[in-house]
Amino acid sequence: MSHLRRLNAHLKRTTSYNYRTLRSQPWNELSGAMGDLGTFLPLTLALSLTHSISLPATLLFSGLANILTGAVFALPLPVQPMKALAAWALASHATQGQMAAAGIMAGAIVLALSATGAVRLADRAVPRSVVAGVQVAAGIALLQASARQFAPLSWIHPYWADNYLSTILAFVGLLACAALATKGVHVPYALGLVVLGLTIAGARHGVYLSPGVDLYPRVPREGDFRAAWPAVLAQVPLTVVNSLIAAAALGRSLLPEHPANEASAERLGWSVGVMNLVGCWFGVMPVCHGAGGLAGQVRFGARSGGSVVVLGLVKVLLGVLGGSGIRYWFAGLPGGWLGVLVAAAGVEIMSVGIKRVEGPEVGVMLATVAGRVGFGNDGVGVLVGLAWFWGMRVPEWWERRQKRATSEEEESLLG
Residue pLDDT, tens place only, 237-256: 878 887 888 888 888 888 87
Which has more pLDDT, 104 or 154?
Answer: 104
370-405 b/e with 16+ CB inside 10 Å = b? Answer: bbbeeeebbbebbbbbbebbeeeeeeeeeeeeeeee
| 8 A C-beta contact, residue 44 and residue 81 | yes
**Model confidence pLDDT, tens digit, residues 337-350:** 888 877 877 777 78
Directed axis angle between helix 96-115 and helix 222-238, to 10°? 50
Cis peptide before 158 (omega within 30 of 0): yes
Assess contact for 306 and 75: CB atoms under 8 A: no
Specify whether the CB–CB gap between 333 and 198 falls below 8 A. Answer: yes
pLDDT digits (tens, 9 = 90+) for 101-114: 999 999 999 999 99
Do the beta carbons of residue 227 and residue 100 sit within 8 Å?
A: no
pLDDT digits (tens, 9 = 90+) for 273-291: 999 999 999 989 999 888 7
User: What is residue 410's predicted lDDT score, i.e. its pLDDT?
Assistant: 60
